[in-house]
């Protein structure tokens, strides 16, 4: 089966017009996203995330390589009929109402207007904008604008959706609603590509994650793969002063949390040795699990490498 998104040897360098300075935004990127997944692209500011998305949507042009969406090269613009996009800081024509905005962008996407009208009503209601349907967008708050931007990305029933910082400016309820919509759409087969630097959101949203730094993909996998890889084990036992002294004496790494000691060991044999020693001291083991890092720790580790 074709990937829903495919970047092949994608390169882009920005050159300052009046100086020799160059910024290599993308460096021969290869990346694929399977259909029906919620994919998260993470990276610090300036990593090249937005450039990658903009090239995929033909808003910017690559220096080399190509992007394929839903099996077709984006050079064939007709594939963009099946693509939705929520940009960071969207700006709508201020003279239009919410309803007119959705009709305008639905028609520009080449969708059937009957379907656009139905979807416009549906998404305005779903995103809690139904009562503001005939209000001009110039009167909208940032959160309302962001919800309307999501509705315009969905109004033509796209098969692939790019969301750039989709929860920016939303309250916790709005964020939960956006997550629920993304999950529903993905379950129906829509591929969702989220571009964000909010790690907690990515952890909650995404089936697969890629980390990007200085125009390169430096890590790629599921959340479990990224956070558990080669990270040893963690044993949890009840705190006693005697045990704490013994662990310090043996130079184990541990932290005390809520009356328990979380002891980290680098590999399976060390874990087994420690269990034997603890059992010999009549210490009861509360829990043992493969050591799992947080996405934040992985992100910081990879980005500061």
Partner 1 sequence: MTYVICHFLKTMFRPGVLLDTFQESFRNKMFLFFFIVASLIVVSIGLTLNMDVVNGVMRGVTFFGSELHVPAYSVKQWVENFQSGLAMFIGTFGMIVALMATSTLFPQMLQKGSIDLLLCRPIPRWRLITARFVGGAAIMAFNAAYLFFGVWIVLGLKSGIWNHGFPLSTLLAIFAFIVLFSVVMIVSVTTESGPAGLLVAATMLMFSPVLAAHERITPAFSSELYRRIFRSMYWLLPKSAETIGAMRRLIIELPLDIDWVVGTSLAFALACYAAAVIYFTRKDY
Distance CA(191)–CA(205), nearest Å, equals: 12
Q: Does residue number 110 form part of the binding site for partner 1 (CB under 8 A)?
A: yes
Q: Please report which residue ranges of the chain form alpha helices under DSSP H.
A: 49-56, 98-108, 113-126, 142-154, 172-187, 199-205, 223-228, 241-249, 268-280, 295-304
Within 267-296, which residues bind partner 1 (CB under 8 A)?
Answer: none
Which string of b and e fits 8-47 if b means at least 16 CB within 10 Å?
bebbbeeeeeeeeeeeebbeebebbbebbbbbbbbbeeeb
161 forms beta bridges with 84, 192
Q: For residue 279, give both structure tokens.
A: 């059992």
Binding-site string for partner 1 from residue 189 to residue 228, where x marks contact by CB under 8 A and - marks none = ----------------------------------------
Residue placing its CB nearer to partner 1 in the complex, 85 or 205: 85
Q: Does residue number 236 form part of the binding site for partner 1 (CB under 8 A)?
A: no
Stretch that binds partner 1, among 86-94, 226-234, 238-246, 284-292 (CB under 8 A): 86-94
Residue placing its CB nearer to partner 1 in the complex, 46 or 266: 46
Q: Does residue number 64 form part of the binding site for partner 1 (CB under 8 A)?
A: no
Are residues 161 and 192 in contact, defined by beta-carbon separation less than 8 angstroms? yes
Stretch that binds partner 1, among 95-103, 121-129, 275-283, 295-303 (CB under 8 A): 95-103
Q: Applying CB under 8 A, which of residues 2, 108, 171, 256 lies at the interface with partner 1?
A: 108
Q: Does residue number 117 form part of the binding site for partner 1 (CB under 8 A)?
A: no
Q: Applying CB under 8 A, which of residues 49, 54, 68, 147 lies at the interface with partner 1?
A: 54
Tell me the angle at which helices 142-154 and 172-187 cross, rounded to the nearest 10 degrees.
Answer: 10
Q: Does residue number 87 form part of the binding site for partner 1 (CB under 8 A)?
A: yes
Residue placing its CB nearer to partner 1 in the complex, 39 or 92: 92
Query: Beta 38-42 vs 208-213: how paired, if at all?
Result: parallel
Distance CA(43)–CA(45), nearest Å, equals: 7
Distance CA(26)–CA(49), nearest Å, equals: 9
Distance CA(182)–CA(163), nearest Å, equals: 10
Q: Does residue number 233 form part of the binding site for partner 1 (CB under 8 A)?
A: no
Q: Does residue number 7 form part of the binding site for partner 1 (CB under 8 A)?
A: no
Burial-class residue 116 by CB neighbours within 10 Å (0-12, 13-18, 19+): buried
Distance CA(187)–CA(58), nearest Å, equals: 27
Residue placing its CB nearer to partner 1 in the complex, 100 or 231: 100
Q: Does residue number 130 form part of the binding site for partner 1 (CB under 8 A)?
A: no
Are residues 227 and 295 in contact, defined by beta-carbon separation less than 8 angstroms? yes
Q: Applying CB under 8 A, which of residues 92, 123, 205, 254 lies at the interface with partner 1?
A: 92
Q: Does residue number 96 form part of the binding site for partner 1 (CB under 8 A)?
A: yes
Q: Applying CB under 8 A, which of residues 33, 41, 42, 80 lies at the interface with partner 1?
A: 80
Q: Applying CB under 8 A, which of residues 79, 137, 150, 235 lies at the interface with partner 1?
A: 79
Residues within the interface to partner 1 (CB under 8 A): 14, 54, 57-61, 77-81, 83, 85, 87-93, 95-96, 100, 104-105, 107-110, 152
């Amino acid at each position: 089966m074709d990937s829903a998104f495919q970047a092949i040897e994608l390169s882009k360098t920005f050159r300052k017009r009046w100086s020799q300075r160059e910024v290599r935004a993308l460096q021969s990127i290869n990346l694929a996203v399977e259909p029906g997944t919620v994919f998260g692209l993470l990276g610090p500011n300036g990593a090249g995330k937005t450039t990658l998305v903009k090239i995929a949507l033909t808003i910017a042009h690559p220096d080399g390589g190509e992007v394929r969406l839903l099996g077709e090269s984006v050079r064939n613009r007709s594939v963009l009929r099946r693509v939705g996009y929520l940009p960071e800081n969207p700006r709508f024509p201020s003279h239009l109402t919410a309803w007119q905005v959705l009709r305008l962008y639905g028609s520009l996407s080449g969708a059937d207007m009957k379907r656009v009208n139905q979807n416009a009503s549906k998404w305005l209601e779903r995103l809690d904008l139904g009562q503001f349907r005939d209000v001009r967008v110039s009167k909208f708050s940032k959160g309302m604008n962001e919800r309307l931007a999501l509705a315009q990305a969905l109004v033509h029933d796209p098969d692939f959706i790019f969301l750039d910082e989709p929860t920016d400016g939303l309250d916790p309820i709005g964020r939960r609603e956006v997550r629920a919509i993304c999950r529903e759409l993905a379950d129906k087969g829509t591929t969702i590509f989220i571009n964000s630097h909010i790690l907690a959101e990515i952890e909650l949203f995404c089936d697969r994650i890629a980390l990007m730094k200085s125009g390169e993909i430096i890590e790629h996998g599921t959340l479990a793969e990224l956070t558990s890889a080669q990270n040893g084990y963690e044993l949890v036992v009840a705190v006693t002063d005697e045990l704490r002294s013994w662990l310090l004496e043996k130079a184990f790494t541990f932290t005390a949390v809520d009356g328990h000691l979380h002891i980290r060991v680098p590999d399976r044999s060390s874990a087994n040795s420690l269990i034997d020693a603890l059992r010999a001291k009549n210490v009861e083991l509360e829990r043992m699990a493969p050591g799992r890092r947080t996405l934040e720790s992985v992100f910081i580790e990879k980005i500061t490498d």
